[in-house]
Amino acid sequence: MPSSTDLVHAVSADLEKIREAAPLVLSLTNSVVQPLTANLLLAAGAVPAMLNDAEEAVEMLRGGTDALLVNLGTVTREQGTVMQTAVQEANRLGIPWVLDPVAVGALSLRTRLAEQLKERRPRIIRGNASEIMALAGYSSVTKGPESTSSSADALQAARELALHTGAAVLVTGRTDYSTDGRQVIATENGHAMMSRVTGVGCSMGALAAACAAVSPSPLQAAVSTAVLMGIAGAMAFEQSPVPGSFAVSLLDSLYTLSPEEIARRARILPL
């Protein structure tokens, strides 16, 4: 397992690669979070694209897309068909894709869709504890899209889900856990204010897609996502400790994030 120091260096390398390569991320995401998701990708150095048509999704994927995000936040049956088509084409082309199973386990349509999608080789699955537990087949209780369990409660479920799907699983919470089923890496950055702004978690899924486009492994991409988003969130709170301006400061902090700041702030613990 790589050391904490090696992982910190890899996080900085992933951010630099995003800024250099400007990966195009096709985000099939929910209507509530689209502006923040697009702006966060831009702040990281990636290029966002968003649409809701199956034919256009295939065209976009064939036209140079580097990664795909599938977020179930406001999914409809029609959007589910678009997502299935996009995932099939992404897999055919070898494009990494990220599954964000918002509120899975709480509502039936998205739960059925997520159960199907998890079998189609996502590179990363990102969710809160309740979502990951539900997707792994564990009993979980949710409050809408919010988790009622801690990220540590979902660690065993995350490992099993990773082994079953071949994906790296990123469980977000007060402590974030990234696992490929064998290795587990904890990251302790971020701030509670991140849960007070709609779309921060969903935007994290988009950042995971950008990281997956450039990172040497899904596990490293998951770790980089957690660290970059967490540090940006902590920096944003220092500048703007209230929700409205915090959202803007989050973008500014990610945009200005330096390797020196990452080295100083990153709290990564291989378990």
Cα separation, 229 vs 171, whole angstroms: 13
199 annotated ligand binder: yes
Q: Is 126 annotated as a binding residue?
A: yes
Is 181 annotated in a binding site? The answer is: no
Query: Is 144 assigned a ligand-binding role in the annotation?
Result: no
What residue numbers does the annotated binding site for ATP cover?
126, 172
Binding residues: 50, 126, 172, 199
Q: Which residues are annotated as a binding site for substrate?
A: 50, 199
